[in-house]
Chains A and B, each alone.
Chain A
């Protein structure tokens, strides 16, 4: 079967793969927003740094002569840890001192961090694209004229596993309970013995680590990254988080997938240059029509 049906399905699958990456980044936004009500503008940059760190570490491991499979696994683990710590450091240096300041202060600080990270990578790594060190198989499964590459299926698989893991973590563990308590009411949580600062640090770590996985997989998917990718990907992921209902973890997953598919369809049927306009259009429409997002509950504003 070929023709319009297969083409549509192909666009949907491509969209799902990109959407899974948006979803992973969106989780970081939504978790941080859920806990300290801050839009972490630097999150897109954290994702970009994850991609860079992954490529750098993987290249180093391969240069040391590690076999490919082992090198990939080790590089992913090291990238996770490193990028997670970048997130923790950002929180500690740029956001924690501003807790209790006016609303604008942390937003501007976050914007400053984002510019700082972008320039930090530009100055230390140069403006040229960073190339993924290994050429991964471009093969894949194909049926009925629709093709799913191995990398696409790996992205979907890893993203699904991570999201399931995160859901379990938040709902079933002690730390997850502490996170939910802090999100509900930080003062009450700290009165009940929850180490709020620690919980916030862990939240930043997990969010940044998920963004790092997203960055690593995107580097694998496209074969290269650039120091500018964080800005637009961060915005898209934010749109995904808002679309699903910010502060809501399953919402971020749904929002990411929906955004990926819509964007892919828009690129396929309207034209690639207006792809970003579609994403921002969605954002504006959602914020006006249903600010709580697809899965978000309508909450009265905290006074």
Chain B
């Protein structure tokens, strides 16, 4: 033990800190990356540490100034203008739909599906503070509900949209009832296990789900005899669904229920002492989130016209979580922003795509350390910080 303490003391000495950490990371990376790349890493660490000794260390991730200004501008708008801004944005996007090429529209539609998922997950993780790691299960339930009801019973898209959402919400309720008494981190694992069970079941229940081959030939949505067959139609539908969701969730966030969720998230015991029925509110958060997941799933099935279990794996759940972490947990515009950013990111990063997930993982760690509130922090948080700084 004494030797360990000696070494630790040596490492804490400022003169040795930079070379020691360079050596440490170089050695850690050596077996995996080989001598050449490990040396480059060690050199990079050394340079970074020396730069930190002499220069200023970035103590937080900076948000680009232009973006910050835009946000400030938005925050200072008079109330009626502020209220109509999202509507204006939606109208602009709807007009843009007639100018963009089909490929961009297709990516934007995918972004819309992720935005629905992120908005749903944001209700339970961001607003109510319950970490759910198996969210893709609800997404899968919705998608399979439409695929099965459509191919077997000929039900249409619009009928299935509420059914898929409702079925997912029911699943959420069923999962929530026994597990919501658990503490946060247990809940995370149970939902993860639930997600896995759902995927394995979809994969193996051949008679209902056609196993790993998935279900082909799902009908596209149609509206008054007008059939959806162009990316533009899907994009407009996605835009409508996301706009409706934002409209609803923004109001929910500011309602009595939304405020109760925040109270519960910040301190469950105190919230309970104030008379907040935490169990009921948790169940509500759970089933609402699941509902959105289900709706996103129905839309996904209607767009892809094909579903298979692989679309609903753990990575999908993590992606959605990543989106709300990036955007700002609990923030409705943040969830949409995060979904849009991460959906378009692979398009921007063509060529270095294989590093995408590595960057995701790293980004989650760095965001938690330097900007836990995300790019677009939720309003409650902004108010709290302002009050705290006023003293």
Contacts and interface: CB of A to CB of B under 8 A. Distances in A.
Nearest to B187: A287
B364 A112 contact: yes
A43 B185 CA distance: 15
Q: Which of B37, B186, B355 has its CB near the most chain A CB atoms (within 10 A)?
A: B186
B314 A109 contact: no
A108 B183 contact: no
Nearest to B325: A108
A119 B201 contact: no
Nearest to B130: A104
A81 B18 CA distance: 21
B107 interface: no
Contacts of A119: 355, 357-358, 361
A277 B1 contact: no
A301 B70 CA distance: 44
A217 B255 CA distance: 55
Interface residues of B, number: 54
Interface stretch (B190-198, B238-246, B382-390): B190-198
Q: Which of A104, A105, A121, A175 has its CB near the most chain B CB atoms (within 10 A)?
A: A104
Interface in A265-303: 273-274, 276-277, 280-281, 283-284, 287-288, 291, 301, 303
Contacts of B189: 39, 235, 238, 242, 283
B372 A101 contact: yes
Interface in B159-209: 178-179, 182-186, 188-190, 192-194, 196-197, 200-201, 203-204
B361 A115 contact: yes
Contact of B28 (A89, A109, A114): A89
A179 interface: no
A114 B133 CA distance: 14
Interface residues of A, number: 61
Given A82-B31, A123-B358, A124-B32, A111 B186 contact: no
Interface string A105-141: 1111101111111111101110000000000000000
A150 interface: no
A229 interface: no
Given A89-B24, A98-B368, A104-B129, A284 B32 contact: no
Contact of A93 (B314, B357, B365): B365
A152 to B, nearest CB: 27
B323 interface: no
B264 interface: no
Given A52-B32, A108-B364, A109-B369, A242 B186 contact: yes
A97 interface: yes
Contacts of A106: 368
B357 A115 contact: yes
B365 A288 contact: no
A172 interface: no
B32 A120 contact: yes
Majority SS of interface residues in chain A? helix
B361 A114 contact: yes
Contact of A108 (B5, B31, B200, B321): B321
A223 to B, nearest CB: 19
A112 B365 CA distance: 5
A67 B365 CA distance: 42
Q: Which of B1, B131, B197, B355 has its CB near the most chain A CB atoms (within 10 A)?
A: B197
Contacts of B51: none
B228 interface: no
Contacts of A39: 185, 188-189
A242 B321 CA distance: 24
Contacts of B185: 37-39, 103, 107
A174 B1 contact: yes
B364 A111 contact: yes
B329 interface: yes
Contact of B365 (A56, A104, A113, A175): A113
B306 interface: no
A303 B325 CA distance: 26
Given A97-B369, A109-B364, A123-B355, A287 B204 contact: no
A117 B358 CA distance: 8
Contacts of A109: 364-365, 368-369
A115 B364 contact: yes
Which 9 A-B pairs give the minimum distances between C-beta atoms? A112-B364, A116-B361, A115-B361, A280-B193, A119-B358, A112-B365, A109-B368, A124-B32, A56-B31
Given A37-B185, A56-B31, A301-B183, 19 more contacts: A53-B32, A60-B31, A82-B27, A94-B369, A101-B368, A103-B129, A106-B368, A107-B131, A111-B133, A112-B365, A116-B361, A116-B362, A118-B361, A235-B192, A239-B193, A273-B200, A274-B200, A291-B182, A291-B186
8 contacts: A101-B368, A104-B329, A107-B185, A111-B133, A116-B362, A118-B357, A124-B33, A288-B179
Interface of A: 37-39, 49, 52-53, 56-57, 60, 82, 85-86, 89, 93-94, 97-98, 101-109, 111-121, 123-125, 174-175, 198, 231, 235, 238-239, 242, 273-274, 276-277, 280-281, 283-284, 287-288, 291, 301, 303
